[in-house]
């Protein structure tokens, strides 16, 4: 079973992914991790990607797709795709790669949250710079104000969680995702979950139901 998680920043996609990993033994395939790994290991694709990144340029699809394809050779089941595919071309490439390996994307789950809710969540978000856990000024306070419960590091807000930047991020996400939503809907794989006000736990159970 392979799934793609779609959801705007603040939709709970990250924590949902964590649940699928810890409770269902799924593996997250994130392009961020693949980039870091390929660059650290100085693979041909990693070196190539680094050139574009150093120049502040978008890494072309064929490089990103190549890294994904390499990864899939050894691991192509029980995956949660997060942040890939980002475009229709990548989605089509992914379908072909999986088909060659005799597998496929089973479901694409879109976590829908109203924009006002996203806005409130993101403006109140606090992040631990050390362990990357996230908190919230109102809904998920740390035990001691501004201090991480797990490692005592001082929490920070992310620069792109500033209110003016958030509206832009949500817009960008919506534009990007609209294409993927149409693509997977046409393939009969899209499931839209309305997760407004749902806890991480409740979202997880909804997803389990979809997958069963
Ligand atoms: Zn921490």
Instruction: Note the pLDDT tens digit of each residue in 148-196.
Output: 999 999 999 988 788 888 888 888 888 888 899 999 999 999 999 999 9
Cα distance between residue 191 and residue 34, in whole Å = 26
Cα 209 to ligand 1 centroid, rounded to whole Å = 32
- CATH superfamily for 3-114+164-211 is P-loop containing nucleotide triphosphate hydrolases (3.40.50.300)
Beta pairing class for 107-112 and 3-7: parallel
- Cβ atoms of 113 and 12 closer than 8 Å: yes
pLDDT digits (tens, 9 = 90+) for 116-148: 888 888 888 899 999 999 898 888 899 999 999
Q: Which residues are catalytic?
A: 13, 86, 125, 158, 169
Cα 17 to ligand 1 centroid, rounded to whole Å = 19
In degrees rounded to 5, what are phi and psi of residue 126? -125, 140
* Helices marked H in the chain: 13-24, 31-40, 44-54, 61-74, 88-100, 115-123, 163-186, 200-211
Cα 143 to ligand 1 centroid, rounded to whole Å = 12
Question: Is the model's pTM score more than 0.85?
Answer: no
Cα 147 to ligand 1 centroid, rounded to whole Å = 8
């Amino acid at each position: 079973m392979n799934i793609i998680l779609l959801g705007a920043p603040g939709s709970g996609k990250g924590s949902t992914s964590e649940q699928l990993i810890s409770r269902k033994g799924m593996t997250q395939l994130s392009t961020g991790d693949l980039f870091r790994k390929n660059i650290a290991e100085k693979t041909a694709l990693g070196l190539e990607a680094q050139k574009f990144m150093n120049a502040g340029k978008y890494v072309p699809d064929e490089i990103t797709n190549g890294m994904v394809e390499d990864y899939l050779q050894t691991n192509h089941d029980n995956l949660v795709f997060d942040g890939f595919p980002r475009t229709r071309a990548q989605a089509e490439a992914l379908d072909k790669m999986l088909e060659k390996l005799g597998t496929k994307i089973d479901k694409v789950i879109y976590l829908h949250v109203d924009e006002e809710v996203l806005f409130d969540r993101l403006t109140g978000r606090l992040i631990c710079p050390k362990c990357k856990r996230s908190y919230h000024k109102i809904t998920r306070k740390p035990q001691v104000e501004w201090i991480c419960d797990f490692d005592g590091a001082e929490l920070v807000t992310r620069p792109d969680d500033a209110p003016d930047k958030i509206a832009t991020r949500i817009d960008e996400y919506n534009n990007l995702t609209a294409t993927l939503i149409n693509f997977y809907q046409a393939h009969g794989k899209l499931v839209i979950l309305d997760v407004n006000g749902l806890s991480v736990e409740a979202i997880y159970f909804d997803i389990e139901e979809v997958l069963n």
